[in-house]
Every structure is written in structure tokens, then in C-alpha cells.
Amino acid sequence: MTAYTTFYLSGIIGKEVFDTDGEAVGVIKDLLINSIPGASNDSGRQIVTAVKLKTDKGFDHYSFEYFSIQKERERIVVTCKELVKIPEEDVLNGMALVENILDKQIVDLNGRKLVRVNDIRLVKLSQGTYPLAVDIGIEGLLRRLGVSQPIKRFLAIFRINIPAKFILWEDVQAIDFSNLNIKLSKSYSKLHTLHPSDLADILEDLGKRSSMRVFSALDEEKAADVLEEMESHAQVHILENLPVEKAADVLEKMPADEVADILDELEDDRAEVLLKEMETESSNEVRELLEYEDDEVGSIMTTDYLSFPASKKVEEVLLELRNKKPEAWELYNFFVTEKDDELIGTFDLRDLVVAESSHRISEIMNTEPVFLLDNQKVGAIAELVSKYDLLAVPVVDDKHLLQGMVLIDDVVEDLIGERRTKRKSR
């Protein structure tokens, strides 16, 4: 006899359980595990703790300890020595495999996407019974329909294999559960390992309630990054349903131009409420940007940029950068301004790094920088960026005062669009 037995959830759900005398005691409806995969009460390994049985007296959870699952000639036989109910609290803390995982969507942390669970593979070891993997392949579907074996045998004649698709239990983050005792913010801890843009895609594909729940569980920094990556109607959905304080906190963590973009999509009342709730400094920046028309350069520029007086020395600037630790995109381009923020030159990271530390900025700067006007049409940006190979373009008003900069990141979709049409028209 082997030391372990593997079986499928579909293989034991609906099975009749017999006691030691061979009398039927009930039908298996569900299996309970001790914690939620991917949540912080995730003990690393979930173990089956109870069986939900339908008996003459109705539905109840019974301790798994007294159950035994055996394979006899490819057939699974479940016996039970004694029916012992588990405390209600354990039911609430645990998670039911059929109710919360089977047929539901889960996040495949390894493949970074939502998948639907067709079956669950479990293993029985001497220490206990554990879920091993979820089956998301066609074979799982056929097994559920009860036609897996005949179809496999039939296809084997033609040497066709049905490829199995499994996701290891460690890579599973459950999404759809509602019975929770534990704190929401802790339920999705594994999701934090995902890139914001992957997470944004997953949230968009989730139902409305689940996406709100998962989003609310993210910390503000992560939430801001994820929100930035979402499609606009998904952003609107999130901001309309999040509590105002939390929404404002998240928005404060985002660049002002992105916030302006999102608020523009919201209904005016809601946008105003959010702006009021935000800190004045952040909300004022956003309000300025909201003044611009949709198709004006000002509407997509960022107001977070770095500018220096021409008299500064290279070493002073480098030191300042080290202390300030700016975001990566703030280093795309540096601006040189006079007292009223008048733009007189630009320089980039290369200029700075290759220069002697005692040089002044006035010696290394480009005195005839390419710039955009804040009320210019956005269509002009793509051409300028691709023509001069710029990562960021300064934006000035009609008095040539620096207002912000436009990043290539914000126009890259337009650039791709332009390329594509060019290629097509050829």
C-alpha cells in the first residue's frame, strides 16, 4: 500500500459516507479547510478540517479526524468512525472548498491572471489531508461531467492527450468568499506580490463587489499604483464606491495629472467632495489642471518636475537629487528657470553625470529647449516627442513661465496609435 492517496474534490462530493458497520450516515456536500489560501491567516499549508454532511438531521460540519478516504480499485470509499461536530467558530474561520473555490474565479499568482476552478486535487498523507492544486483544464471539466475516462480512452486511440492544466495550491489567491471572520485587509495579502498593472487587469475582470473588496484591502500606495493602471470606467466604479476618506487618501498618493484625468470622468458633485477631502496642496494642483480643456497639453502634463537656477553647481544639484530621491520619471528632464519660473534652459541626467562637479548649470544646459504651450492641442505632443526623442517636454504658458512637463509615458499610447496608422496606410 502506498503512503499517500490523491483524489479529486469532484470524486468525493456527493459520495455516501459509511460508518464502521457499513451503514450509510450521510452524503458529502463540502470540505472545510482551516484557513484561506493567500490570506494572512494562511498557515502556509491548508489542511482539511471538516466535512459538511447531509444527514437525516440536515446539514452539519463534522470533524475530518474521524473520516477515512480510501481508494479501492480506483473507487473512492469514505468511511467515518464517529460523527463529531466542530465548533461554529471553526466553521467561520475556515473556508469551504465547494462553496468558495469550486467553479469560482481565483487569481493564479504565478500566471498573474484570473482563472476558473474546475476541480481541486487533494492528497491524503499520514499527517492529514491537504489541497494540492486546482484544476483549470478541460480534463477537469470532463471529470465533473463524468466522461473524462471514456473520452481519454477514446482519444488515446488517436494518440491525442488532453493536456492537464493545474495551478499549485501555493499560487492560489481565493477571491470570492463572504463568510469571513478575519480582517479584510489581511484576506488578500498574496495579491500584494503582483505588479500593479497585472492587479489592475485582474480587478477589471472581477465582478463589481469582488473588485471593491479586493481594492479596499490594498494599502494606499499600492491602491494608488493600481488605480492609475485601470481603465477609466473601472476607476470611476472604484471611486464612486470607496468611502470618501479612503478615496481621498489614495488620490493624494497619485500624480496630480492622473488625478485630474480621473476626476474629469466622475460626476461633478462626487469630484468636488473628493477634492474637498484631499489635502489642500494636492487638491489645488489638481484644480489647476482641471481648468484645462481635454484636448489641451495642460490637461495631461504633470506638475511634479525638478527645476534649478542656472547659477547652481553640478555637485550641488547631484547632492540635492540624492537627498530628495525623486521618482524615476522626474529625472527624465531637468529645467532651468529664472526667478518667475521663466524657462531658460534644460539639461538631462547625462549632461549632469558627465560634467565636472565644479561646473555651473549654465555651462551644461541647452539654452534653446523644445517646449510646448499649455493651451496647445495634445496632438502636437506625439510629433514633438518622436522628432526630438524626448522623454519629457517642458510646458510653458504664453509668458514662457514653466507650468509642468509632459511625460512620454502619458503619450505613449498616442504614439503607438500613430505608428499603427502609418503602417496601415502604407
* Alpha carbons 415 and 413: distance in angstroms, whole number: 5
Q: Which stretch binds another protein (CB under 8 A): 47-55, 218-226, 234-242, 275-283?
A: 234-242
Cα-based angle 146, 148, 152 (whole degrees, multiple of 5): 155
Grid cell listed for 119: 476541480
* Alpha carbons 212 and 152: distance in angstroms, whole number: 41
Which residue in the set 35, 63, 118, 303 belongs to the binding site for another protein (CB under 8 A)? 118
Q: Which stretch binds another protein (CB under 8 A): 72-80, 181-189, 226-234, 352-360?
A: 226-234
Cβ contacts of residue 50 below 8 Å, gap of 6+?
31, 32, 61, 62, 63, 64, 86, 90, 91, 94
* Alpha carbons 276 and 145: distance in angstroms, whole number: 56
* Alpha carbons 334 and 321: distance in angstroms, whole number: 11
Residue 236 engages another protein in binding (rule: CB under 8 A):
yes
Nearer to another protein, 8 or 308 (CB): 8
Which residue in the set 183, 192, 209, 276 belongs to the binding site for another protein (CB under 8 A)? 209
Residue 31 engages another protein in binding (rule: CB under 8 A):
no
**E-state strands within 87-175:** 95-96, 105-108, 113-116, 119-124, 129-135, 166-168, 172-174
Residue 85 engages another protein in binding (rule: CB under 8 A):
no
Q: Which stretch binds another protein (CB under 8 A): 34-42, 98-106, 181-189, 242-250?
A: 98-106
Nearer to another protein, 138 or 331 (CB): 138
Nearer to another protein, 14 or 87 (CB): 14
Amino acid at 28: I
Question: Which DSSP symbol is given to 311?
Answer: T
**Pattern of binders to another protein over 393-422, x per CB under 8 A?**
--------------------xx-xx--x--
Sheet holding 5-8, edge to edge: 5-8, 119-124, 129-135, 166-168
Question: Which DSSP symbol is given to 191?
Answer: G
* Alpha carbons 371 and 66: distance in angstroms, whole number: 76
**Pattern of binders to another protein over 121-160, x per CB under 8 A?**
---------------x----x--xx---------------
Pairing of strands 372-373, 334-337: unpaired
Within 13 Å, how many C-alpha atoms sit on residue 346's CB side?
20
* Alpha carbons 189 and 38: distance in angstroms, whole number: 6
Residues 290-309 that bind another protein (CB under 8 A): 294-296, 299-300
Nearer to another protein, 318 or 415 (CB): 415
Residue 103 engages another protein in binding (rule: CB under 8 A):
yes
Per the CB < 8 A criterion, the answer to whether 109 and 194 are in contact is yes
CB of residue 148 to another protein, shortest distance in Å? 12
CB of residue 198 to another protein, shortest distance in Å? 14
CB of residue 255 to another protein, shortest distance in Å? 13
Nearer to another protein, 124 or 237 (CB): 237
Q: How big is the chain by its Cα radius of gyration, in Å?
A: 30
CB of residue 243 to another protein, shortest distance in Å? 18
Number of residues that bind another protein (CB under 8 A): 44
Per the CB < 8 A criterion, the answer to whether 365 and 386 are in contact is no
Nearer to another protein, 33 or 167 (CB): 167
**Pattern of binders to another protein over 258-277, x per CB under 8 A?**
--xx--xx-x----------
Nearer to another protein, 31 or 234 (CB): 234
* Alpha carbons 138 and 121: distance in angstroms, whole number: 14
Residue 178 engages another protein in binding (rule: CB under 8 A):
yes
Residues that bind another protein (CB under 8 A): 102-105, 113, 115-118, 136, 141, 144-145, 176, 178, 204, 206-209, 211, 231-234, 236-237, 240, 260-261, 264-265, 267, 294-296, 299-300, 378, 413-414, 416-417, 420
